[in-house]
Amino acid sequence: MNPQDDQSRRGTEPGEEDSGQPLTDRTQHPAEDELPEEEAQQVTLAEAPEGTAVIMSLGEYKELKAAVEERDDYLERLRRATADYQNLQKRIAKLSDSAIRRAIREFALQVVPLADSLARALSAVEQSEGAGNFPEVLRLIEREFYTILGNLGIEPIEAVGKPFDPAYHEAAFQEPAEGVEPNTVVRELKKGFIMGDQVIRPSQVTVAAPPADSPQ
């Protein structure tokens, strides 16, 4: 009898011993439901540089996804904290600027009366004889005084020749003035000052009266 025929009848391959168990029982893989969950289910995350798929278990994928979500949450918190800090800086700067302006205004209220004293002194020496160079000295002091106020953002209010504006002018007198529109400022009695859009002191002025034949 041919040995190969005998091996065929016994269901064995050449070189293998018959164990008495069917071949199919010895080669069948375990059922998928018998494997652990992390090994039974796999997730392809990305393509590797060589073109092969990067495979990890579902458990590893969930851990990585949770880490990414946590990172995104921290980044969002950092963005919000940065925005809050920038807004806080702006509020502090605004409050500081407001406090500085209040301090300057209080200072200006104390020193602007010097402008009245300088104006009166200059008028007096200009009308006196033998004043020498004293008027020029007073003008130099006056210019220096206004320069200091200007450096603090305080400027004199323009009044003479301007229409009367109660927001900037305080009418002390009214007098006839030929060739001038009624309610035009014709004389400045005390100089007014302004800081930005805030009036430190209104100008005290005389305004042109309406013509005598006016019904007003």
pLDDT in tens, 98-127: 888 888 888 888 888 888 888 888 888 887
Tokens of 138: 């007073």
Contact 149, 166 (CB under 8 A): no
What pLDDT does 201 receive? 93
Q: What is the mean pLDDT of residues 169-176?
A: 90
- Residue 212 pLDDT class (50, 70, 90 cuts): low
Q: Which residues contact 176 (CB under 8 A, 6 or more apart)?
A: 208, 209, 211, 212
What's the distance, CA 189 to chain centroid? Answer: 44
* Residue 168 pLDDT exceeds 90: yes
What pLDDT does 65 receive? 82
- Residue 162 pLDDT class (50, 70, 90 cuts): very high
Q: What is the pLDDT of residues 17-73, one digit of tens each?
A: 444 444 444 444 444 444 444 444 444 444 444 544 556 677 788 888 888 888 888
What is the rounded average pLDDT for all residues in the chain? 76
What pLDDT does 21 receive? 45
What pLDDT does 204 receive? 93
- Residue 216 pLDDT class (50, 70, 90 cuts): low
What pTM was computed for the model? 0.55
What pLDDT does 35 receive? 42
What pLDDT does 214 receive? 60
Distance CA 45, CA 125 (A): 94
**Number of C-beta neighbours around residue 57 at 10 A:** 16
What pLDDT does 156 receive? 93
